[in-house]
Amino acid sequence: MSRKELTDVFRVLHVPGQPVVMPNPWDLGSAKVMAHLGAQALATTSSGHGFTLGLSDGGQVTRDMALQHAADICAAVDVPVSGDFENGFGDQPETVAETVRLAAEAGLAGVSIEDTIVPRADSYPFDLALARIEAAIDAARSVGIVLTARADGYLAGSYDQAEAVRRCTAFAKAGADVIYAPLVDADTARALVATGTPVNLLAAGDMQGLTLDQMGALGVARISIGGGLARVTQQIILDGTRAMLERGDFSILKGAASSDEVDAMLNP
């Protein structure tokens, strides 16, 4: 499918109360496997991608790196892909708008922009945060890409959930296609849904204990996992390597995936 067709599919997948599960692969192999297993859409993860490069999340991956990573994943799968582009790789609205246009050129069906100042654990003042999202929305409309506006200050610890609602409400009124405030509770999720704009919910914190149906009952339209599955994989690396080096215990290898099964997904 063309990028336009994939973008059209991506928009239709956002149904409040019937959320699409959008896993976050961190490399081409995980993207291919997730798509083969039936994922209808995927999204990159800045933390997971950074780990594959030996870099930490939050400003160490450059825009060029993120764009190339996104383009590679888009070329590897035939489902819509949304790009986790952190704060848009710059402070000024003009830079954010350029990033959104470049995201479309990379083949992405969607792109998310945060209100965080990386690498600092802080957020842009409200007026600047809104101006940045307004610029992103204008750019997204000009190139036909789904724009997710993120209020990450609660996740970063720079403001409370009430401020996350205030910001997402402003982003929704400005015309964002999707709004997203990571790690908020169920009441806040319902408040975001009340804006009428599709809401992305992160399956983390208290939310990861809910089922898909329970998340859907909140009225959200999309569920992502961020770097969650990548972090699970990292934990296996930590546990397995420690066991081997510290105790001479190789038993973790008994849980390995079948190479035949995985190869069949990588080369269908």
pLDDT in tens, 209-267: 999 999 999 999 999 999 999 999 999 999 999 999 999 999 999 999 999 999 999 98
What digits encode the pLDDT tens for the residues 171-221? 999 999 999 999 999 999 999 999 999 999 999 998 999 999 999 999 999
pLDDT class of 121 with cuts at 50, 70, 90? confident
Identify which of 38, 46, 101, 29 has the alpha carbon closest to the alpha carbon of residue 263: 29
What is the reported pLDDT for 126? 98
Q: How far apart are CA 191 and CA 102, in angstroms?
A: 32
The pLDDT of residue 56: 86
120 pLDDT above the threshold of 80? no
Domains of the chain: 3-226 (3.20.20.60)
Q: Are the C-beta atoms of 23 and 223 separated by less than 8 Å? A: no
Residue 184 one-letter amino acid: V
- Give the pLDDT of residue 196: 98
User: For the chain, what percent of residues have pLDDT higher than 90?
Assistant: 95
Residue 118 confidence (pLDDT): 86
Cα–Cα distance measured from residue 203 to residue 223, given in angstroms and rounded to the nearest whole number = 7
Total-model pTM:
0.95
- Residues 49-83: b if buried by 16+ CB within 10 A, e if exposed: bbbeeebebbbebebeebbebbbebbebbebbbbb
What pLDDT does residue 26 have? 97
Distance in angstroms (rounded) separating the CA atoms of residues 184 and 130: 20
Percent of the chain topping pLDDT 70 = 100
**pLDDT for res 183:** 96
